[in-house]
Amino acid sequence: MRLIVLGPQGSGKGTQAESLAALLGVPHIETGAMIRAEIAAGTALGKELQVYNDRGELVPDDIIIRAVTPLVTGPRGWILDGFPRTLGQARSLDTMLAASGYGLDAVIALAAPDEELIARMAGRRYSASTGLSYHLTTNPPPPGDPGPFVQRVDDTPERMRRRLQLYHARTEPLIAHYAACGLLHTVDASGPIEAVTKAIVADLGLAA
Ligand code: AP5
């Protein structure tokens, strides 16, 4: 199965992609996490990426496409989270898949109002020991996770607004692109986490 999870910041792409990857037994490819790992490793590329990431700006297409290409062109399926997010990236992915002979099965577009998205990002915390992501009220850390729980540098009010602005301008056009390909499944992501997972599973005709 080759799936893209598309949606604005805070819609639950990471949360839902993780569950779907476990359900389908395929890797969860998350470009945001790849970028944060490169920054944490302190490499020359990481220093370059940090400039974009910390300001909430998009990393240039050529850098992202180079990193993703070897991960998506093999025979194994995947769930893509955070890629593509520009029409240039989507067209590159179309070309890569056509050349490799493996097609895309579906694109899940998560939808929720901007005020809800801001509240989710504002309450998000990552465990420094396990790397898992939680929410202070809707998805609190379990007692077994020792933390400490830290906020992302791009989850500040100004950067959240900028990231959502970029989503509407640069990523939203992908919805029409994938609708035209007959691959789009729009899912209401404003409900609780488990309800959204159920809706995706039902929409794709998967057995939970
Ligand atoms: P990335 O890490 O992809 O961040 P993002 O796009 O800003 O998306 P988020 O991680 O904020 O949202 P999400 O939808 O995954 O939400 P989550 O599941 O965590 O990218 C970071 C940066 O990397 C970008 O700004 C850019 O610089 C760069 N980048 C990455 N990919 C790129 C690309 N392709 N091209 C160019 N640049 C790129 O959920 C959010 C919170 O809400 C969590 O706390 C969660 O527990 C909670 N939650 C989730 N679902 C629900 C629910 N249904 N109800 C209540 N709470 C919920």
CA triple 106-107-111, angle to 5 deg:
145
**99 alpha carbon – ligand 1 mean position (Å):** 29
End-to-end alpha-carbon separation of the chain, Å?
15
Alpha helix (H) residue ranges in the chain: 13-24, 31-41, 44-55, 61-72, 87-100, 114-123, 157-166, 173-180, 193-204
Mean pLDDT, the chain, rounded, equals 95
pLDDT over 90 at 111, yes or no? yes
Average pLDDT on 57-63 reads: 97
| pLDDT at 119 exceeding the cut of 90 | yes
CA distance 121 to 7: 13
- Is residue 177's pLDDT more than 80? yes
Pocket of ligand 1 (CB under 6 A): 7, 9-15, 31-32, 35, 52-53, 56-59, 64, 82-83, 85, 89, 120-121, 123-124, 133-135, 138-139, 154, 163, 189, 192-193, 196
Query: Does the pLDDT of residue 208 top 70, yes or no?
Result: no
The C-alpha atoms of residue 174 and residue 182 are separated, in whole angstroms, by: 12
pLDDT band at 165 (very low <50, low <70, confident <90, very high): very high
Show Cβ contacts of residue 53 under 8 Å, excluding neighbours closer than 6 positions: 35, 36, 39, 59, 153, 154
Is 120 considered catalytic here?
no
Catalytic pick from 13, 36, 125, 159?
13
**Residue of 2, 125, 159, 163 marked active site:** 163
Q: What is the C-alpha separation between 114 and 101, in angstroms, rounded?
A: 38
Q: What is the pLDDT of residue 207?
A: 72
Look at residue 157 in the predicted model and tell me its pLDDT: 92
Q: Is 124 assigned a catalytic role?
A: yes
Q: Which amino acid is at 105?
A: D
Amino acid 164: pLDDT: 96
- Asked if pLDDT for residue 198 goes beyond 80, the answer is yes
One-letter amino acid at 21 equals: A
- 72 within 8 A of 93, measured Cβ to Cβ: yes
Closest CA to 110 of 201, 204, 5: 5
Mean pLDDT on 74-82 = 95
Q: For the chain, what is the largest distance between any 2 Cα atoms, rounded to a whole number of angstroms?
A: 47
Q: Kindly state the DSSP code that residue 8 receives in the 8-state scheme.
A: -
Is the confidence at residue 161, as pLDDT, over 80?
yes
66 is catalytic: no
Instruction: Please tell me the distance between residue 10's alpha carbon and the centre of ligand 1 in angstroms.
Output: 5
170 assigned to active site:
no
Ligand 1 mean position, distance from CA 9 (Å): 5
pTM (predicted TM-score): 0.94
Task: Report the pLDDT value the prediction gives residue 206, as an integer from 0 to 100.
Answer: 86
- What digits encode the pLDDT tens for the residues 14-49? 999 999 999 999 999 999 999 999 999 999 999 999
Task: Report yes or no: 184 and 107 within 8 Å, Cβ to Cβ.
Answer: yes
